[in-house]
Structure 1
Amino acid sequence: MKFIDKDLLSVQEARILMEHAGEAKTALALYTQEKLDRCLWAMLEAIRGCLKELAVESAEETGYGNWQDKYRKNCLVWNQMSQSLKGMRCVGLVEENPGSKTAKIGVPLGIIAALVPATSPVSTTLFLAAISVKSGNAVVFAPHPRAGRTVQKTVKLLAMAAEAAGLPQGAVSCLGTVGKEGTAALMGHPLTSLVINTGVPGLLKACRESGKPLICGGIGPSPVFIERTADVKRAVGYIIASRSFDCGTLAAAEQYVVADRQAAAEAKREMLSQGAYFMNEEEEARLIGLLGPNGSRETEYMGKTAVWLAQKAGFPVPEDTKVLVSQQTYITDFNPYSGALLCPVLVFYIEDDWMYACEKCMELLVNESCGHTLVIHSENEDVIRQFMLKKPVGRILVNTPAAFGAMGVTTDLFPSMTLGGLTAGLGITSDNVSPMNLVYMRNAAWGVREIPGPEAFDDGGTGRMEAVRAGADMSADQNAAAVRDENRKEDTLDVAGLLKAVLRHLED
């Protein structure tokens, strides 16, 4: 019986994939935007008819969420990529300004090492492949072990279609032997230009140790504030729809509801009427016992419905329950809800006014959600502005559901499955990641003025410099005359100062 070391095999495969990606990178450097776009549209067309099948497979393989919501998510991403990437220029001449005689040329970064989560494997893979090809980069995927088969199938479909349209082999590829060692080898490879970690927190340390530039698309348990002027019914509907979608696995979905006291009673009534179940102390203790206390999470209970969780924890809830809610007063050091809960569970707080709510949200952002996303429901523009200016967060959403607003479905943010955050100081951007995050800009500029004369560098006095600046449009003779006038003024001032000093000396 032959023994095969899976870890070594994964590392070796990673090295081979990176070598092929390196060859593809050289070829892609010569591609025009138009040629890249032909490959992109071929990818999108090829996978369009497989989105439902892949949604079913991903739900079955991972055990997270439900295939219906995953199919909706796949379709949303497909539609968004088709619309938002059309006409966008990322490489070559991106911008030209005849007035200032400047230009910007987009240059691909090279090779992207992309880490794909188990929660949204198909939509994330489709998104990252699309923006990589659009921006002329090669991309090598490292799937979460729980989603390896689904990601590999998705990448194979995309790569075959793109290569048939002219993309070089190796430009879109995926680890077949999935393991931490292989993923680490991808990230730390000398040819790797950028690492994108979309919602794989267990590999953040390895990402940091790779020494490569990192885009960290984190999963943030987002606070949402319902202010007293809000349309409470609409706000609650958005919150529950967002939190329950795909069993609470979307990156920016609300986890903490902070209600203004004047709106709290109505908010609670609406939550109850729209599918929320408020747990008592015993039920809550049972749920925490199931999920794991103080931030530790049992992954087998992530991505499950509220009804399933309640049954597993041992207490009954109505069959139409969409979210489980724990009403809390304080944020304690021992907080069982710290960190992201990838399941339809909400924590409900009540604060006296928007200023106290502001402090509560700050505490939640700093201590628990790592500055990912914050939502406010309000019609008070002053309060909204205060939240916009003060919160240490990657994105603030107003009167919209967090999960859909953050990924650009219900807002005009760039449609993205990789939402940059401020997670533990990691990552180089808090943007909704786009193809423009995968290129650097080469600047070109034409000369528009002559070299300034020596007088422009004379620091003998501000008056002289102002004269030079004021005379920037004068002829050479006029400019020289202006400088001589300034010199005479300074000389006059010097003489007057000297006479005053002599008179003071005589008086003494």
Structure 2
Amino acid sequence: MNARDTGAELRNTPVDSEAERIAASLVVRARAAQRRFESAGQQALDTASAAAAWAIMEPGRNLQLADLAVRDTGLGNADDKYRKNFRKTLGLLRDLHGQKTTGVIAVDKARGVVEIARAAGVVAAVTPSTNPAATPANKIINALKCGNAVIVAPSPKGYSSCSLLLEFIHEQFDKAGIHPDLVQMLPAPISKPATAALMRHCDLVVATGSQANVRMAYASGTPAFGVGAGNVASIVTASADLRDSARKILHSKTFDNATSCSSENSLVIEDAVYQPMLSELDACGGVLLDAAQKARLQAAMWVDGKLSEQCTAKSAEVIARVAGLEEVAARRPAFLMVEESGAGADYPFSGEKLAPVLAVYRAADFDAAAGVVRDIYEYMGAGHSVGLHSGDAGQAVRLGVTLPVARVIVNQAHCLATGGNFDNGLPFSLSMGCGTWGRNNFSDNLGFRHYLNITRVAYPIEERVPDVDELLGDFFKRFGQ
């Protein structure tokens, strides 16, 4: 179903009057609190965002949230969620520190333009079950930093984690004298009609999670930022440090049992280093399945064409047992690998798996490897990002020029780097725009600037009208007038 189909579906679906009433009442409360908050000054905005950040970062609360997330969603592992909750929030605070987000934020005397930051209003934050605390916190902190109120629409499985997060945030708000209505959430049970109603009543939608929710956000009639599908492929070239690459792929592929949309799903290896790279991956705990084992894994992972909950975001050992691969499970694999040669619906391992399972491709050279990635992205994942392990820095730019990707991640653990890390310059985020390739209206990491309106005051300056020849002289010289 495409965005146009989703829009038609929404228009033809009867409005749920109770869902509309609930959404409207939440927004009325949020709007009243937001209108007072947005004019309270930069320190008030900074205090509110800091309160929300500390609500999730404090070790005792963080541990409760991480444990609850795994218990109620069955996705990932608590240790990695604990690290994610802390590091992603710490990185976001670094990005926000000292940023002006209200009042006059820029003065360009030469152009006679003054820029004024204005709040978007009431934000509907649609969040996934894969990160039921970290993603809501990220959106809440960004929204508050910019003078907005926010209402979260969590996934049904993530409801308990989000509810506990808001309880912790309101405790911090109470200490700082901040109105609790600035941060709210839909009541249980979470439903599509309730989420759709919230989207319609708010001023801005920021949607992360299933493509159905993202398409619904774009079709809601409310300005929206939504993200594309993940299905990351990484290339390993002949010039790569194979041991270092394997270790980084291990870290990325196994972090939180591959719940991240930035976790590698496919690895394309140049022929010259194919076997040595497989050996390094084996040394890191990767287990390459034979054809019969691959078939059994495929049958377990996809049931009636859909990813099975029994395998999604589970450990490689658990997945192997679900597939009946006891001999593989006995090896306690860190991740599973299958050799693949094609892309598309007939090759399900070429798509997103949300599990520590890696499809491995063999390519004659760098250009052929890029071609394999292009084929994969024609099926799924266009716009998101590509990984590169190489000793040739110029190859990264070639990928950025030719592939349909918004990011090229070079010699890094991909899932940790794509959303910002302390050893690269990307902004910290849990929502990555995929540009028009991924049917998104932005290609940045979703950040605080997406939660702002900018008013521009234009003063008169000395007129300077350019000469036609100054602008078109080169064209005239080459082609005549």
The verdict on a shared fold, with TM-score over 0.5 as the criterion, is yes
Aligned counterpart for 1:329 among listed residues 341, 344, 353: 341
SS at match of 1:30: coil
Q: Decide whether the 8 Å contact of 2:105 with 2:117 is kept in 1.
A: yes
Number of matched pairs: 451
* 1:399 counterpart = 2:421: no
**Are 1:442 and 2:455 an aligned pair?**
yes
Amino acid at match of 2:277: A
Is 1:427 the counterpart of 2:436? The answer is no
Q: Establish whether residue 416 from structure 1 lines up as the match of residue 432 from structure 2.
A: no
Query: How far 1:155 sits from its partner (Å)?
Result: 1.7
Following superposition, the deviation at residue 340 of structure 1 comes to 1.8
Mapping of residues 309-388 of structure 1, within 5 Å: 309-315=319-325, 316-317=327-328, 318-388=330-400
Pair 1:148–1:426, CA change in 2 (3 A): same
The equivalent position to 2:292 in structure 1, one of 270, 282, 285, is: 282
- The one-letter amino acid paired with 1:385 is V
Q: Distance in 2 between matches of 1:166 and 1:88?
A: 23
Amino acid in the other structure paired with 1:324: L
Residue aligned with 1:348, SS: strand
Give the one of 14, 21, 28 matched to 1:12: 21
Further displaced range: 293-302 or 365-374 = 293-302
With normalisation by structure 2, the TM-score equals 0.88
Structure 1 position 8, deviation (Å) = 6.0
| CA deviation vs aligned residue, 1:137-192 (integer Å, no higher than 9, x gap) | 11100010011111111022213423542433421101122111111110122xx2
Partners of 1:350 and 1:362 in 2: CA distance: 14
Letter in 1 for 2:74: G
Contact 1:90 / 1:135 at 8 angstroms: preserved in 2? yes
Asked if 2 retains the 8 angstrom alpha-carbon contact of 1:370 and 1:423, the reply is no
Q: Counterpart amino acid of 1:392?
A: P
CA contact (8 A) 2:75 2:313 kept: yes
1:246 aligns with 2:256: yes
Q: AA paired with 2:113? A: T
Asked if residue 118 in structure 1 is aligned to residue 129 in structure 2, the reply is yes
- Relative distance call for 1:205 and 1:217 in structure 2 (3 A) is closer
* Cross-structure match for 1:36: 45
Q: Is the 2:266–2:350 contact (alpha carbons within 8 Å) kept by the matching residues of 1?
A: no
What does 1:492-503 correspond to in 2, within 5 Å? none
Distance 1:341 1:447 in 2: 56
Distance 1:287 1:10 in 2: 41
Show the counterpart of 1:57. 68
Which protein shows a greater Rg? 1
Contact 2:143-2:451 at 8 Å conserved across structures: yes
2:345 and 2:74 map into 1 onto residues whose CA distance is 32
> Is 1:180 aligned with 2:189?
no
Deviation, 1:338, is 4.3
Once the two structures are TM-superposed, the CA of residue 241 in structure 1 deviates from its matched residue by 0.9
Q: Distance in 2 between matches of 1:183 and 1:333?
A: 30
In structure 2, the partner of 1:171 is 182
Q: Decide whether the 8 Å contact of 1:295 with 1:339 is kept in 2.
A: no
Q: Is the 8 A contact 2:227 2:438 kept in 1?
A: no
Bigger drift between 345-354 and 286-295 goes to 286-295
- 1:153 aligns with 164
Provide the rounded CA distance (Å) in 2 between the counterparts of 1:120 and 1:100: 44
2:214 corresponds to: 204
* 347-356 or 70-79, larger mean C-alpha shift: 70-79
Map Cα deviations across residues 112-152 of structure 1 (whole Å, 9 max, x no partner). 11111111111111111100100111110001001111111
Cα contact 2:384–2:438 (8 A) shared by 1: no
Give the whole-Å Cα distance in 2 for the aligned partners of 1:206 and 1:216.
9
Show the counterpart of 1:22.
Answer: 31
C-alpha change, 1:276 and 1:105, in structure 2 (3 Å) is same
Tell me if 1:86 matches 2:97.
yes
Distance between the aligned counterparts of 1:123 and 1:245, measured in 2?
A: 14
Equivalent residue for 1:291? 301
SS in 2 for 1:145: coil
Secondary structure at the aligned position of 2:426 is classed as: coil
One-letter amino acid of the counterpart of residue 51, structure 1: N
- Matched to 2:79, the amino acid is Q
Residue 3 of structure 1 is matched in structure 2 by none
Gaps of 5+ in 2: 1-15, 474-481
**Aligned equivalents of 1:175, 1:186: Cα separation in 2:** 8
Segment drifting more, 341-350 vs 172-181 = 172-181
Report if aligned partners of 1:107, 1:440 keep a CA contact under 8 Å in 2: yes
Take 2:304 and 2:424, find their aligned partners in 1: how far apart are those partners?
34
Residues 112, 139 of structure 1: 8 Å contact kept = yes
CA offset at residue 265 of structure 1? 1.4
Q: Distance in 1 between matches of 2:211 and 2:388?
A: 26
Q: Residue type of the partner of 1:15? A: A
CA 1:295–1:252: 2 relative to 1, 3 Å: farther
2:315 paired residue number: 305
State the AA in 1 paired with 2:410.
V
Deviations 1:17-71 (A, max 9, x none): 1111121232233121221111222233343240011100111010011111111
In structure 2, the CA distance between the partners of 1:345 and 1:294, relative to structure 1 (3 Å rule), is: farther
> Any idea what the Cα deviations from partners look like across 1:389-421, whole Å, max 9, x if unmatched?
111112111111110111112421001111112
Give yes or no for contact 2:217–2:226 (8 Å, CA) kept in 1.
Answer: no
Q: 1:109 aligns with which of 111, 120, 128?
A: 120
* Alignment partner, residue 85 of structure 2: 74
User: How many angstroms apart in 1 are the aligned matches of 2:32 and 2:129?
Assistant: 30
Q: Report the 3-state secondary structure (helix = DSSP H, G, I; strand = E; otherwise coil) of the residue aligned with 1:265.
A: helix
Separation in 1 of the partners of 2:435 and 2:406? 6
Post-superposition offset of 1:462: 6.2
Provide closer, same or farther for how the CA distance between residues 399 and 294 of structure 1 changes in structure 2, counting only shifts above 3 A: farther
Query: Match for 1:86: what amino acid?
Result: H
> Deviation of residue 426 (structure 1)?
3.2
**How far apart, in 2, do the equivalents of 1:119 and 1:159 lie?**
23
Partner in structure 2 of residue 259 of structure 1: 269
Asked if the contact 1:159/1:173 (under 8 Å) is kept, the reply is: no
Q: Given residue 200 of structure 2, which amino acid in structure 1 is its aligned partner?
A: G
Structure 1 unmatched ranges of 5 or more: 1-6, 467-508
Q: Note if contact 2:238-2:272 (Cα within 8 Å) is conserved in structure 1.
A: yes
1:170 match: secondary structure: helix
Secondary structure of the corresponding residue to residue 330 of structure 1:
coil
